[in-house]
Amino acid sequence: MNKTLLIIQREYFSRVKKKSFLLMTFLVPLLFIGMYALVVYIFIEGDNNQKKIQVLDQSGIFESKLKDQKNLDFTSIKGPYEEAKKEMLKSKSDFLLYIPADYEKSKNIEIIAEKKPGLNFLSDIEKQMEDILLDQRLIKAGIDTAIINQARPNLNINARQITEEGEKDASVGASFIIGFIAAFLIYISLFIYGTQVMRGVIEEKTTRIIEVIVSSVKPFQLMLGKILGIGMVGLTQFLLWIILSAGLTAIAGTLLINNDETKAKVEQMGKQRVAMASSESGENNMVLDFSKAASTIDFPYILGTFLFYFLGGYLIYSALFAAVGSAVDNETETQQFMLPITLPLIFTFIIGMNFIVNNPDSPLSFWLSMVPFTSPIAMMIRIPFGVPAWELAISMVLLVAGFIFTTWVAARIYRVGILMYGKKTSYKELAKWFMYKE
């Protein structure tokens, strides 16, 4: 045990003292805050690039009815289609909106430009034209559009969850964001720190340092010490990231709140968003109510389960990475063994972001959160939506059992592989190493 502790200590301090560790530990939160500030700035300022659009309406329905917006400037023109295209290029207009007289039959409305338009740009124009057509058809049918606009409902469904403590708010949007962030961090960290274990084993093997080390330490102790040491490095870095990010976010938020100009812009945007809520998607409402939604998340609970599944997933996959590192002589030979190891992670992350978030209580979601190789990602996506205590307990027990079994399998390969040189390794060879007796 003392030898394992010495290896853990060596692996931990040799890495945390590196300049690269210190640089990434402090740089990542700053990059995160910078990205957050940029998103807030874009959200507040929006797209200030006004697009000039010449409208050639041969149907006469939309002429002078398209309204200018913050980034849209409509100008009606007359004349033949071909002349209008030439005029657009001469006048330096960005776009030409062409509406033929028989557009209802041909279903052909065109927007011409030198560059491809954006999706939101097209969506804004389509929305205006649809509203104009709707009003026209209602008027033809003898229906007062003013009455319809006044009677148009504006619904906002608030999710509520019944618990043993009573009812409480349940924000689906916030649950999705928290689940995605937690799953993504685990997904990335398993690759980063697992690869560090593998590279460390390959380096010691190729430099023949391993031959000196195993003369005084058992292979299992060496592998376990390396895994736990690098795992502690990752855990230290994550905790520092969380602390620094929370501190910097609080400081940045305080500065933004105290800025009168920014506050005024946010309040103005909030009023505009509320006024447009009836015609906008749920995504905008989610942005508006995010601060309220965040209060529905039990962050200490999320953080505690995140640390457990991060460590559990790391220990399982780093043991497999260590076995791969011991079986090869250089990194180029690891590719044939990496895909079977990383495939469960990739599969679960893709399924999680497309299926589990929409069906957190489905049988597939349940079983993915039970299997040790997929539970770190699947369970972290499900937890913000609410997971029964018995499911969480079974998942954690299976994860611990999976780590013990995986470590035992990896250790049997590791004890032979670290002393093998110059031989092309195959899956058949790994099976032989596993069956060797002590």
Nearest to 362 by CA among 349, 381, 339: 381
* pLDDT on residue 390: 92
* pLDDT on residue 180: 83
Look at residues 121, 151, 181 and tell me which one is the last residue of a structural domain: 151
The low-confidence residues of the chain, meaning pLDDT below 50, are 269, 271-288
Structure tokens given for 301: 């609970």
Whether 166 is in a domain gets the answer no
What 8-state DSSP symbol labels residue 371? Answer: S
- Same structural domain, 110 and 60: yes
* pLDDT on residue 98: 81
Number of domains within the chain: 2
Whether 162 is in a domain gets the answer no
- Same structural domain, 112 and 218: no
Is the separation of the CB atoms in 146 and 347 below 8 Å? no
- Same structural domain, 187 and 266: yes
Indicate whether this model's pTM tops 0.85. Answer: no
> In whole angstroms, what is the distance from residue 170 CA to residue 178 CA?
13
- Same structural domain, 139 and 282: no
Whether 393 is in a domain gets the answer yes
Q: Which domain holds residue 416?
A: 173-435
- Same structural domain, 292 and 354: yes
* pLDDT on residue 286: 42
> In whole angstroms, what is the distance from residue 341 CA to residue 221 CA?
23
Which helix or strand (DSSP H or E) is residue 74 part of? Answer: strand 72-76
| CATH label of the domain that carries residue 107 | 3.40.190.10
* pLDDT on residue 279: 42
Whether 376 is in a domain gets the answer yes
215-269 per-position pLDDT tens digit: 777 777 888 888 888 888 888 887 888 788 777 767 766 665 555 555 555 555 4
- Same structural domain, 333 and 257: yes
- Same structural domain, 127 and 242: no
Whether 14 is in a domain gets the answer no
Q: Which residue has the tokens 């939160």?
A: 29
Look at residues 116, 151, 186 and tell me which one is the last residue of a structural domain: 151
Identify the sign of the CA torsion 51, 57, 60, 61: negative
Look at residues 120, 151, 182 and tell me which one is the last residue of a structural domain: 151
* pLDDT on residue 289: 52
Whether 391 is in a domain gets the answer yes
